[in-house]
Amino acid sequence: MRRVSIFGATGSIGQNTIDLIKRAPDEYDVVALTGASNIKQLAEDAKALNAGIAVTADEARLPELRAALQGSGVEAAAGAQAITEAAHRPADWIMSAIVGAAGLAPGMAALAQGTTLALANKESLVCAGNLLLETGRAHNAEILPVDSEHSAVFQALVGEPMDAVERIIITASGGAFRDWPLADLPNATLAQASSHPNWDMGQRITIDSASMFNKAMEIIETREFFGVDPAMIEVLIHPQSMIHALVGFNDGALMAHVGPPDMRHAIGYALHHPARAHLPVERLDLAAIGTFEFRAPDDTRWPALRIAREVMARGGLAGAVFNAAKETALDGFIGGHLKFTQMSDVVSRTLEQMDASGGHIDATMTLDNVLETDQMARKAAWDAIHKLGQ
């Protein structure tokens, strides 16, 4: 039996992971499940999978979680610290699917005990890529990509020499506003930004897809995962979301990864790696699909793509500032304090301000420094939001 834990179990990635595990319950011993506000789902899954412990991020909800688990034998705990402690529980495979920088500390804890980390939480790589990768190396712990593009690149690279790689192309659907007139973008509503043409995902990543901040994060994620020069990474708009990434080699060959837009593929690949196993995803009928389209991305429509390049050029803890500013700007948009197009202004201003105001970006990359810089950047981003709102 493989011991597995799922961090962010109640979210979109977490539920897809549970779907795969429930199909072969005898193969897995579920150590820990974590969630935040959806106590009902967390308790239901913890009981169904007979988990060792269920943890909610929200301390005020502990009595409710306890009550829901009464008599089941599943332990209950609450709070950020308890989540990180759950990551210390011995496991063979941990799904990191918390959304945001909150996923960093539990991911580090998992790697520090040598556990294989299936990484959906791209924010932790953007905030602290080197730290995460070095911790993995130091403890002989594997980090497997779960983001669909990065899983695709990872698969296209199997058996290939890295020095033959010339470029890595990650695709983007273009999100909800791909075909909108530019003049309409400032008036995009929350409901419009929260609906994705191809993928069914959590609300935050769906809005990040519309603004292309998701792709901006993924450019940085590609640099971290595959250790390539930023100039080798390209973004290609592909409205069908069926080619997830392509790797270009020095003999001119492009290896493309093609599959349905269903995260259970990338999750399942990471779950069974290095083997392949049967997965319950649609088999594509290419003749019925007929056409794959491609377009160049547009930095005017999606300034986030340009900002990602600036962040990589700046180096240091600029990634942590970028992620915190992006998360805060997103909170600002969701809360009705910002227009859709102002999110990128907030991120740019926060990066400029944090660069001008002392050594936070140049601090050594330790977990404490990253978390401190994250907090400083969130304050700076809220200041920028308030200024823009005046």
The footprint of ligand NAD (CB under 6 A) covers 8-14, 35-36, 57, 83, 97-99, 102, 120-123, 147, 199, 201-202, 204-205, 263
Residues 215-230: b if buried by 16+ CB within 10 A, e if exposed: bbbbbbbbbbbbebee
**Contact stretch for Mg ion (CB under 5 A) within 6-14, 37-45, 136-144, 147-155:** 147-155
Mention every residue, 6+ apart, whose C-beta is less than 8 A from residue 383: 353
Nearest residue (CB) to ligand NAD, 143 versus 349: 143
Minimum CB–partner distance for residue 358 and ligand NAD (Å): 27
Nearest residue (CB) to Mg ion, 147 versus 327: 147
Minimum CB–partner distance for residue 217 and ligand NAD (Å): 7
Which has the closest alpha carbon to 247: 257, 262, 239, 238? 257
The residue sitting closest to ligand NAD, measured at its beta carbon, is: 11
Minimum CB–partner distance for residue 309 and Mg ion (Å): 18
Q: Please give the helix or strand (H or E) that residue 95 lies within, else none.
A: strand 93-96
Nearest residue (CB) to ligand NAD, 62 versus 388: 62
What are the tokens at 299? 């930095």
What are the tokens at 131? 């730290």
Which does residue 21 touch among Mg ion, ligand NAD, none (CB within 5 to 8 A, set by kind)?
Answer: none
CB contact at 8 A, 307 and 85: no
Minimum CB–partner distance for residue 39 and ligand NAD (Å): 10
Residue where the block lists tokens 């273009």: 174
List binders of Mg ion among 296-325 (CB under 5 A): none
Between strands 254-258 and 243-249, the pairing is: antiparallel
> Binding-site residue total for Mg ion (CB under 5 A)?
3
Minimum CB–partner distance for residue 360 and ligand NAD (Å): 22
Nearest residue (CB) to ligand NAD, 127 versus 188: 127
Angle at 309 between CA 303 and CA 312, to 5 degrees: 140
Residue of 45, 147, 224, 327 interacting with Mg ion (CB under 5 A): 147
Alpha helices in the chain (DSSP H): 12-22, 39-48, 62-69, 80-87, 104-112, 122-138, 148-156, 190-193, 203-211, 213-226, 263-272, 286-289, 303-314, 318-334, 342-356, 367-389
Nearest residue (CB) to ligand NAD, 13 versus 349: 13
Residue where the block lists tokens 């080197």: 130
Nearest residue (CB) to ligand NAD, 57 versus 258: 57
Minimum CB–partner distance for residue 275 and ligand NAD (Å): 22
Interacting residues toward Mg ion by CB under 5 A: 147-149
